[in-house]
Every structure is written in structure tokens, then in C-alpha cells.
Amino acid sequence: MTETLIRGRLLSFRRAPAHAADTQSFLYEDDGALLVANGIIQATGTYADIKAKAQADTIEIDHRPHLILPGLIDCHVHFPQMQVIASYAANLLEWLNTYTFPEECRFVETAHAERIATHFFDEFLRQGTTTAVAYCSVHKASADAFFAESLKRGTLMIGGKVMMDRNAPQGLLDTPQLGYDETRAVIKEWHGKGRNHVAITPRFAITSTPEQMAMTQTLAEEFPDLHIQTHLSENKEEIDFTCALYPDATDYTDIYARYRLLRKKALFGHAIHLSEREADAMADSGAVAVHCPTSNLFLGSGLFPLKAMKRRDKPVTVAVATDIGGGSSYSMFKTMDEAYKIQQLLGERLNPLESFYHMTLGNAVALDLSERIGTLEPGTDADIVVLNAAATPAMRLRMETISSLAEELFLLQTLGDDRAVVETYVAGKASKPKAEALRTEA
Ligand SMILES: [Zn+2]
């Protein structure tokens, strides 16, 4: 068994921080180390303790003075939208119809899906993100390409073949039966293969007929342990259109509730404009609201009340995500920088401990995967990110005046990007693509 000792400043959350000075909520070791073997963290502690446990031939990697955290987690992205990011549109529905749907049509071709999958994994690992929850396109080939690449990289990824059977171009439509059959085929072929997880993925109520929603309910009942992902309450025009399509439902959330899709491990992208009744229904069911700040600002969708959602008598579980390609950055630092600004506009404060909790353990808890990822606890998967808060001249200069861990994290969040990611370990293997090795294709 080849062991690796990874040395640096360890930071790993134990629970959600209660306030900006809640030092009990995390483990911090100034001269810490991890012992990694077989893709698993075997031991976590001070360098002296870990060194004493290590075998004589253990490979030692010294990342001092950098921070070592669990790999970052992104709870909502669209794998086929890498060539949609940075599209100029007035709002969600125009953006979907003008740019997104035509682009997703290209994923009927396996070669295209495989090419984009390679870029997708390169980009996420470059940003320090080791787990993403992805919508593929409606085509089974896109899910096959996504999961095959994930298997090759050894990553823990969650993905799903999108089901959609109306209100989109012909090339993007399945049928209730085809969506069901292909989702079952994707589950059979990929769920549990390597570290892959398959999610049941109706795009949203606008693009699924009641017949397809009923088939989604059947899938959800047949596979009660799988994740479910869809979109909810992103912008006003979308809400009105959706509710008109399901006139019997009380509100947008009730549409999904009627098909029994509100449950633990069900991820609802955006959920910005929920009523109190809807937020209660989310909280009661254990469903997750996935906050996508750069996307919400980019598309002008609205300001998600993150702090208020967590402060309710019945708190709603919140995850955070980039929402590529409606989102405007692959970086979880930029994502939380924008989340912070949205709370500022709402008169709330999001402290840096909370931000880093959300992109690691918080997202792992929301996914019900904290036994495996989002932490540096021994026995969990060795998905690890190494961060340098002095990665650029401007960051280096600002670091001269920084005197606490919380300040350093806030600097990383505010000025950091992929340049601050020194290394990304996937199951113990150094996996950050080098900048000079950027793929060149004829
Ligand atoms: Zn989305």
C-alpha cells in the first residue's frame, strides 16, 4: 500500500458555524498533515503525529504555507452549457430559447459530448471543485460521456439525463416513456460504477408534461435513494408560465409536491421567490434549495434570501452552486463572493466561515454525502484542495495586512479564482490540469 503524507495548514468543518468567531465549528491545524492511501484519508492531525504514524517509505508532499481543505462541491451545473456561458440575454426564457436550447441540441453527437466532457472535468478540477451535480442534455449519449469521463478521472460526480417533452426544440424532446426508459438505462449502466451517482432529472415543470411528471414520480418511487434535481421559482415570468401549465396546483412548489418529488436529496435550483407556504413545504420534506448567485444576478432573476431561509422556524436546507452556463464563473470563490453581495443588498451578512462551510461540508450535508466528501475526517474520500491566498500580486499585497484565518478566507473568496488553487487531489491523486497543458485541438 503506497501511502502519501500531505502537509500544510488543515481546515475542515465539523458543523455549520453559528457566528463569525465560532472556532469550535471547524478543525484547524497550523502545521497539519493527512495520511492518504487507497484514495482514502487514513489519518488527520498535527504533522508530528502523522509523521510518527507514517511508514518509512511514505511519500511526503509539503504544501506549507498553503491551506488544505476538502475538495469544493458545486450542487447545480449544466454540463452541456460550457459554450453557453457569457451569452447576452435579457432574462431566463430568452436565454434558454436563444442560446441554450440550440447549443444542447449538439449533444446528440457522442463525439461532441465526449469532447466537452474532457473540458468540463479539466475546468472543474482546475477550480478545485471535485464534486459537481450536473444536468446532462436530453440525449443519453451526453450522460454516457459525462459518466465515462468521471470514471476515468476517479471523481465523485452526480449527473442525470434531462427529461423534457415539451416547450423546447424538437431535437431536445423525449417522451414520457423514452425519458423513463433512458433514465433507467443510465441508472443501470452508471449508478455506483466508480464513484458515480445518477440523479433523476426532470429539467423543470415547463418542459415536462403532466404525463412525464407522473413517470418521474414512478422513477422516484422505484429509486428512493437517488438524488432528484430540477428547477424551481427562478424568475417571475417563469413562475407565471409554469403555474398556468398546472392550474390545479396551489403554487409552483406544489406542482413538484403533487408528483412526490419533494424529499431528502431532492435539489431545487434557485427557489428564489418562494412564499412562506412553499418554504414550509420545502423544510418539512427535507428538500434542498440550491442557491446560484452568479446566475441569479447575471439573468436578473432575483435575490435569494439565504440568511432568512436558514433563520426560519422551519429552516430550509440550502446548498450553493455555480449554475454554469447561466452562472458567470466556474469558481466557487466567485460564487460565494456574489452570494455575499446578494446578502449585503438584503441587509444581511454572510461571514467567511459560513461561505467556506457551504462550499465544503454544507454542500456535502445537503447531498447526504458527508460520510464521504466535504470533510478531512479519517475514513472519508481523499478529495482535497490546496489553496494559496497570496496567489496574485494583489492578493500577496493584501495578505501582508491579514491577521486571522477568517480574514484570509474572506480574501480568498473576494479575490481568489483558479490561480489560488495550488493543487486538486481526487481520491488522493494530484489532478489539477497544468495551465501549460491546456488542450490544443486541431
Ligand atoms: Zn440550472
| Distance from Cα 76 to the centre of ligand 1, integer Å | 6
Contact 12, 377 (CB under 8 A): yes
| Distance from Cα 248 to the centre of ligand 1, integer Å | 25
| Distance from Cα 78 to the centre of ligand 1, integer Å | 6
Reported as half-sphere exposure (CB side, CA atoms, 13 A), residue 6 has a value of 31
Which grid coordinates are listed for 419?
A: 490561480
Q: Residue 438 above 70 pLDDT? A: no
| Distance from Cα 326 to the centre of ligand 1, integer Å | 7
State residue 111's pLDDT score: 97
The whole-model pTM stands at 0.97
**Contacts (Cβ under 8 Å, ≥6 apart) of 1:** 37, 38
| Distance from Cα 156 to the centre of ligand 1, integer Å | 20
| Distance from Cα 268 to the centre of ligand 1, integer Å | 9
| Distance from Cα 381 to the centre of ligand 1, integer Å | 27
The proportion of the chain whose per-residue pLDDT surpasses 70, expressed as a percent, equals 98
State residue 92's pLDDT score: 87
Contact 125, 426 (CB under 8 A): yes
Q: What value does the mean pLDDT of the chain take? A: 96
Q: Residue 303 above 70 pLDDT? A: yes
Helices 110-126 and 140-153: angle between axes, nearest 10 degrees:
40
State residue 442's pLDDT score: 39
Average pLDDT for 188-194: 98
What is the Cα 291 distance to its own chain's centre?
10
Contact 387, 56 (CB under 8 A): no
| Distance from Cα 189 to the centre of ligand 1, integer Å | 25
**281-290 pLDDT per residue, tens:** 999 999 999 9
Task: Round to whole Å and give the CA distance between 85 and 323.
Answer: 10
Q: Residue 220 above 80 pLDDT? A: yes
| Distance from Cα 324 to the centre of ligand 1, integer Å | 7
Average pLDDT for 340-344: 98
| Distance from Cα 49 to the centre of ligand 1, integer Å | 45
Burial of 142: CB neighbours in 10 Å, binned 0-12, 13-18, 19+: buried
| Distance from Cα 299 to the centre of ligand 1, integer Å | 11
Q: Is pLDDT larger for residue 368 or for residue 90? A: 368
| Distance from Cα 424 to the centre of ligand 1, integer Å | 25
Task: Round to whole Å and give the CA distance between 244 and 251.
Answer: 10
**315-327 pLDDT per residue, tens:** 999 999 999 999 9
Q: Residue 439 above 70 pLDDT? A: no
| Distance from Cα 231 to the centre of ligand 1, integer Å | 6
| Distance from Cα 436 to the centre of ligand 1, integer Å | 31
**79-138 pLDDT per residue, tens:** 999 999 999 988 888 999 999 999 999 999 999 999 999 999 999 999 999 999 999 999
Q: How confident is the model at residue 436 (pLDDT cuts 50, 70, 90)?
A: low
Residues whose Cβ atom is located within 5 A of ion ligand 1: 269, 323
Which grid coordinates are listed for 348?
A: 444581511
DSSP 60: E
CA distances from 148 to 126, 166, 179, 190, 193 (A): 19, 29, 20, 8, 10
**45-69 pLDDT per residue, tens:** 999 999 999 999 999 999 999 999 9
**Lowest mean per-residue pLDDT among 10-14, 281-285, 332-336, 435-439:** 435-439
Q: Residue 435 above 90 pLDDT? A: no
